[in-house]
Structure 1
Amino acid sequence: MADPSPVRGPVVEADGISKRFGATVALRDARISVAPGESHALVGRNGAGKSTLVSILTGLQNPDTGTLRFNGEPAPAPGDTDAWRTRAACVYQRSTIIPALTVTENLFLDRQSTGAMRPIRWKQLHARATGLLAEYGVDVDPTARADNLTVEQRQFVEIARALSLGARFIILDEPTAKLDARGIDKLFDKLRSLQEQGVAFLFISHHLQEVYDLCTTVTVYRDARHIITAPVTELDQHALVEAMTGESTRDAEPAWSPAGRTRPDDAPLLEVTGLSLDGAYHDLSLTARPGEVVGLAGAAASGNVRLGETLAGLHHPRSGTITVKGRPVRTGRVPAALAAGIGFVPEDRHIQGLIPQRSVAENATLTVTDQLGSYGTVLPSRTRAFAERMIDDLDIKTPGPATPVSALSGGNQQKVVIARALATDPQVLVAIRPTNGVDIKSKESLLGTVREVADAGRSALIVSDELDDLRVCDRVLAMFHGRVVAEFAHGWSDEQLVAAMEGMTGPTDPKEPNAPHH
């Protein structure tokens, strides 16, 4: 078992940290201090300076000014990778585990043998991996390929790898972004047990309730500055959001609300009948009418994401039909879905949504290149003008259409993805977890954009397990193990919806939202 004896003073202490990238001030006199065995939250809007601080705490960037100490000792020299690995590690939202390798190979990457010319003794290495995983209570077969692990198991392997190098300070960057409720519970239980061994965590999340569930202390950054550090018990959610935004939220109303303009006798814009996809969902039917935002709620194994992707043409269902405005859509073909009037916001903007080295304009107009030129040639002037309109319409914060999309904050990157989905003027917008990994103000703006699609007489489908995403919906269908198990009108309670998503009994009181009817 790791030595649980306490370390005197903070496990990490940063003070007066400033960092510029050209004319951009990424951090200005920032600070943070994390105690041994503490879960310390770091929150702030996109662009607040969190990512820059992480890169400094892990040795990837050097601060322009300020001091950084680990366990009271100065930080390692720049470029001393081995020394940095013994001080701090970061488990990123995008896993660094290599799927094609085994758990053992990932745990001991670049240190499989005792010397460059010495053979790898696999039996001994697997035994070391077994002992290491057992030491930290990670129930994973060391001989298993990493691509067969669940998301939380991969996170546990990354944490175990960092601990095996000697690090007792671990940064968790949006660790729950791809976990369902059970996965989050498992992760938090593991983190609490490691805290008892003296391991300290810096927890970075846009999900503020998780800050209260896991952490004892919270630090807020805004506009590259440290704003406040306080015990979470002394800072309620209103005060926390005010510190993040600099604006009072106690009397604020969201920019959107379910309009309720759809009428039951309106013909559906989108109609799904008897759709089945092996291993994902079975005999599923739903409708979305003009003016309506429909939520499709469900945990990771519910099939809701695969259904959303099927509507966009990414999967070919075994049976069933999809129609838009009464016309059948050829399934399993993305061009057919686009031609039928289905716009799509994918689940992961980094992998499925953006070409990072291309400009904002190029990314935003990928679905309409045929409209931006003549004789098969795309005209840069038309692309720029089209992109400028979308930048204005969605209030995308960018120096200009030619800016690489990778230079934008997460919230503005997501706006580019939505802009591309809306570029074709779709009849139905399908958005999967549209606010994943963005700050609270960007969430409101993005959901407002989805609401505007419906208010203009079209339909939208939000596929998510995030309750805040689903509040904009006129009604929500809850999925469990590939089936719709309950339907809720606007005004549902968190307890009702979460219970249905977890496979518990749906609403039965006639005064409550109705059970499924499609």
Structure 2
Amino acid sequence: MPELEPSAPVVEAIGIAKRFGPTVALADGELTVAAGETHALVGRNGAGKSTMVGVLTGLLKPDAGHVLFNGEPAPPVTDRTAWRERVACVYQHPSIVPHLSVAENLFLHRQPRGRFGLLSPSKLRRQASELLESWSVPVAPDLPGGELTVEQRQLVEIAGALSLGARFVILDEPTAQLEPRAISRLFDRLRALGEQGVTFLFISHHLPEVYEICQRVTVFRDARHIVTDTVENMDHDRLVAAMIGEARGLVEAGADRSAVPDDADTVLGLHDVAVPGFVHGVDLTVRRGEIVGVAGSATSGKRQLAEAITGLRKRTGLVEVGGRPVRPGSVPDALKGGIGYLPGDRHVDGFVAGLSVAENATMTIAGKLGPGGLVLPGNRNRAARTMIDELDVHTAGPDQPVAELSGGNAQKVVMARALASDPEVLVLVQPTAGVDVRSKETLLGVVDEQTREKRGALLVSDELDDLRMCDRVVVMAAGRITAEHPRGWDEAELVAQIEGIGD
């Protein structure tokens, strides 16, 4: 690679735009990272951070805009070797091969060879030792990758990236799985590597870490660049304001909800619920007529909690619906026990694209649509037409393939399926993700109407408009409930807690 010019930023992303079908993932992405700095990229979920990382690493080709490395155009996306020489990304999830040694992982697909072109274990070990020593990574080259701690794995991945020539490293939520002392050691290593000429882009939901390790910060919001400034100039209030913008209040569903009586029946009870690696001893109740919101960062465990309640993940602890225990790890038992579920990604878990609106909407009650478990098309279509009318699904009819619907109408079909079995409690994950304002109002209006008296709801969401309609909101961090807010919470305070900013 050419020598770095002092005046040229290590990387510049200019006017980056990227769409995935109708979804705008990034509309106006701008990022400039100076040599030798640790630069934070922050924003709420869906702000466009992951898309920018994909563009910066050459895994995504932007629809508009361009990337410069050291003032020179980025290589073609097909030239993976050239990209690896310029940039590396250490992700939350390990890329280390567990059954290979540290040395073998460092030189994967490029092992040194000796006489007659044969692999040379001694040369491999020597070069790995030299590489680890040169970057002060205290790990034995013979240690199996599967025995590395998270902290060691990250340092090995950084060393491997630097050995390819990259001096710009993206760290994606690097502290999410680290305990405090390991975080302190990692930051010491980052500072030392910075003094050796390595530049970092630091992506984190834990904003106090931005102030500890970074010199500058860029904020994305709603798929756009909002501001770039020094950390010194971005106090907590200004940073949170940049991330959340002005409260839009577009959705008024549930504005007149009455307070839930203290003696209302409990429809959902969680007692010491845990999901290994994600959720730790959660206790929570949802009363009949109540909507309880669950907020938290992407690493908070909130989605894993919802999946454990609905039988999609193994769990420990007790889940009760109407006082009756629900068997863990069983979706059919959760459904029979009175849980209706709307998953977070309708394209992956929400509907079957090749089936009709009626088939998708009635999946959870297929056994009730005819004798002996047979599905009579007339019964199915009558049930589907009722759902179409109640949820205002814009469709040509029950037989239309759900894949032909708009995002908002497809989400209404998924909501119809969650309600079809007449559940005691709804578990809703990101119920308005990727839908237009009118569909959002319809969906939240349905949740409001369905929970006024008959049932309760647990609503897991990153969207503040979704959470505003809730009777109370709990905040999760590191797998635990860390705060609870009654209706009428302060937006800046809630987001600060979600992002880990203390008082």
Same-fold call, TM > 0.5?
yes
1:427 equivalenced with 2:458 (yes/no): no
Q: Within 5 Å, give how 1:152-163 maps onto structure 2.
A: 153-163=152-162
Distance 2:24 2:303 in 1: 38
1:233 equivalenced with 2:229 (yes/no): no
Judging changes above 3 Å, is the alpha-carbon distance between structure 1 residues 258 and 208 closer, same or farther for their aligned structure 2 residues? farther
Distance 2:182 2:412 in 1: 28
Distance 1:351 1:143 in 2: 43
My pick for the range that moved more, 273-282 or 14-23, is 273-282
- State whether residues 16 and 66 of structure 1, in contact with CA within 8 Å, keep that contact through their aligned partners in structure 2: yes
Q: 2:118 is matched with which residue?
A: 119
Q: 2:197 is matched with which residue?
A: 198
Q: 1:511 is matched with which residue?
A: none
**CA shift for structure 1 position 128:** 3.9
1:327 equivalenced with 2:328 (yes/no): no
1:402 equivalenced with 2:403 (yes/no): yes
Judging changes above 3 Å, is the alpha-carbon distance between structure 1 residues 6 and 277 closer, same or farther for their aligned structure 2 residues? closer
Distance 2:459 2:22 in 1: 38
TM-score normalised over the length of structure 2: 0.64
Judging changes above 3 Å, is the alpha-carbon distance between structure 1 residues 389 and 238 closer, same or farther for their aligned structure 2 residues? farther
1:85 equivalenced with 2:81 (yes/no): no
| Residue number among 261, 283, 290 corresponding to 2:259 in the alignment | 261
The residue matched to 1:269 in structure 2 has which SS? strand
Distance 2:173 2:224 in 1: 20
Distance 1:462 1:138 in 2: 44
Q: 2:33 is matched with which residue?
A: 34
- State whether residues 260 and 474 of structure 1, in contact with CA within 8 Å, keep that contact through their aligned partners in structure 2: no
**CA shift for structure 1 position 490:** 4.8
Distance 1:174 1:413 in 2: 32
Gaps spanning 5+ residues in structure 1: where?
394-399, 502-518
Judging changes above 3 Å, is the alpha-carbon distance between structure 1 residues 119 and 227 closer, same or farther for their aligned structure 2 residues? same
Judging changes above 3 Å, is the alpha-carbon distance between structure 1 residues 284 and 243 closer, same or farther for their aligned structure 2 residues? closer
Distance 2:25 2:305 in 1: 40
Letter in 2 for 1:340: G
Cα RMSD for the two superposed structures:
6.3
My pick for the range that moved more, 329-338 or 269-278, is 269-278
My pick for the range that moved more, 83-92 or 417-426, is 417-426
Distance 2:199 2:58 in 1: 18
Q: 2:398 is matched with which residue?
A: none
The residue matched to 1:313 in structure 2 has which SS? coil
Judging changes above 3 Å, is the alpha-carbon distance between structure 1 residues 429 and 205 closer, same or farther for their aligned structure 2 residues? farther
Distance 1:416 1:134 in 2: 57
Judging changes above 3 Å, is the alpha-carbon distance between structure 1 residues 266 and 297 closer, same or farther for their aligned structure 2 residues? same
Judging changes above 3 Å, is the alpha-carbon distance between structure 1 residues 151 and 18 closer, same or farther for their aligned structure 2 residues? same
The residue matched to 1:402 in structure 2 has which SS? helix
Distance 1:165 1:32 in 2: 24
Distance 2:63 2:297 in 1: 43
Distance 2:272 2:182 in 1: 30
My pick for the range that moved more, 125-134 or 296-305, is 296-305
Distance 1:177 1:459 in 2: 32
Distance 1:480 1:52 in 2: 24
Distance 1:284 1:78 in 2: 44
- State whether residues 181 and 299 of structure 1, in contact with CA within 8 Å, keep that contact through their aligned partners in structure 2: no
Q: 1:370 is matched with which residue?
A: 366
**CA shift for structure 1 position 269:** 1.7
The residue matched to 1:337 in structure 2 has which SS? helix
Give a deviation string over 1:201-254, Cα, whole Å, max 9, x none.
Answer: 223456656544543323345676655432243345665566567x53499999
Give a deviation string over 1:474-504, Cα, whole Å, max 9, x none.
Answer: 486999999x9x9967599999x99xx9xxx
**CA shift for structure 1 position 325:** 1.6
**CA shift for structure 1 position 340:** 0.7
Corresponding residue pairs, total = 475
**CA shift for structure 1 position 329:** 3.1
1:338 equivalenced with 2:335 (yes/no): yes
Gaps spanning 5+ residues in structure 2: where?
395-400
The residue matched to 1:218 in structure 2 has which SS? strand
**CA shift for structure 1 position 458:** 3.2
Judging changes above 3 Å, is the alpha-carbon distance between structure 1 residues 148 and 431 closer, same or farther for their aligned structure 2 residues? farther
**CA shift for structure 1 position 341:** 1.4
Distance 2:22 2:348 in 1: 31
Distance 2:95 2:346 in 1: 14
- State whether residues 358 and 404 of structure 1, in contact with CA within 8 Å, keep that contact through their aligned partners in structure 2: no
Judging changes above 3 Å, is the alpha-carbon distance between structure 1 residues 376 and 200 closer, same or farther for their aligned structure 2 residues? farther
Q: 2:397 is matched with which residue?
A: none
Distance 2:208 2:465 in 1: 11
Judging changes above 3 Å, is the alpha-carbon distance between structure 1 residues 291 and 177 closer, same or farther for their aligned structure 2 residues? farther
Give a deviation string over 1:317-338, Cα, whole Å, max 9, x none.
Answer: 78x7643223343444221111
- State whether residues 297 and 477 of structure 1, in contact with CA within 8 Å, keep that contact through their aligned partners in structure 2: yes
Q: Within 5 Å, give how 1:43-82 maps onto structure 2.
A: 43=42, 50-61=49-60, 68-82=67-81
Letter in 2 for 1:339: K
Percent of matched pairs sharing the same residue: 46
Q: 1:167 is matched with which residue?
A: 166
